Amino acid sequence: MSSNAADKSKKYFSTFPKRTYPKGQIIILAEEEPEAIYYIVDGKVRSYDLSYRGDEVVMNIFKPQSFFPMSWAINRTPNKYFYKTEEETTVHVIPAKVVVEFVQKNPEVMFDLLSRLYYGLDGLLGRMVHLMSGTARSRVLYELIIECRRFGVQTTNGYELDVSEVDLAARSGLSRETVSREIGKLKQQNFLALKGGKVHITQFKKLEALLGTEV
């Protein structure tokens, strides 16, 4: 979010009730009428659906300064997804009508919302391409690259990711066993390392270059 839009949103939404949820807490159930719009102060929230096997299929990850579910707020489309915290998360709870009016009256906030929407859409379309035609390796690579760009902590020679094999499986549509096997191959090739429960991407540019190739 741009600094001006972020400051304006943070100041305005800070006047509304604040809640803190523990990791793994479902905030909104699928097919449930949302209580309100949630503005994230700290933490992360994933939206997901369930496959016929009962596996989570991740649609999006929301980080601080995001608000959700905006499709329901703007278009009143029925909510189809679960929203669950990925870590301890603090939010402000705001009536949908208030959020919509705020966005309409603040063009910079609206522009930023559209910018992030299209950025997320590009990521979703990219994920669809790899789900439909990519190999297991390319699907894991794509999720690692997206994770680096959105949530990675930059290090001297790459990124540090706080992401598990279960998370990568949910986002790539693969089984945990398949993800573990592909992670093992990348580790053997020195593209990443596993330390302290985190994934350390040691050669990000080369990892990007791998995407779409066969080895």
Give the pLDDT score at 32: 92
Mean pLDDT of the chain: 85
Give the pLDDT score at 6: 82
Question: 213 falls in which pLDDT band (50, 70, 90)?
Answer: low
Helical H runs in the chain? 3-13, 70-75, 96-105, 107-133, 136-151, 165-172, 176-188, 204-210
Q: List the single range of 1-15, 46-60, 93-107, 121-135 with lowest mean pLDDT.
A: 121-135
On the question of pLDDT at 174 being above 50, the answer is yes
Separation between Cα atoms, residue 195 and residue 202, nearest integer Å: 12
Give the pLDDT score at 102: 92
Q: List the single range of 1-10, 83-92, 102-111 with lowest mean pLDDT.
A: 1-10
Sign of CA dihedral 39, 43, 47, 52: negative
Domains of the chain in sequence order: 3-126 (2.60.120.10), 135-210 (1.10.10.10)
Separation between Cα atoms, residue 133 and residue 131, nearest integer Å: 6
Q: List the single range of 4-18, 57-71, 125-139, 174-188 with lowest mean pLDDT.
A: 125-139
Give the pLDDT score at 43: 95
Q: List the single range of 94-98, 171-175, 181-185 with lowest mean pLDDT.
A: 171-175
CA nearest 103: which of 60, 73, 61? 73
Separation between Cα atoms, residue 122 and residue 142, nearest integer Å: 12
Q: What is the pTM of this model?
A: 0.68
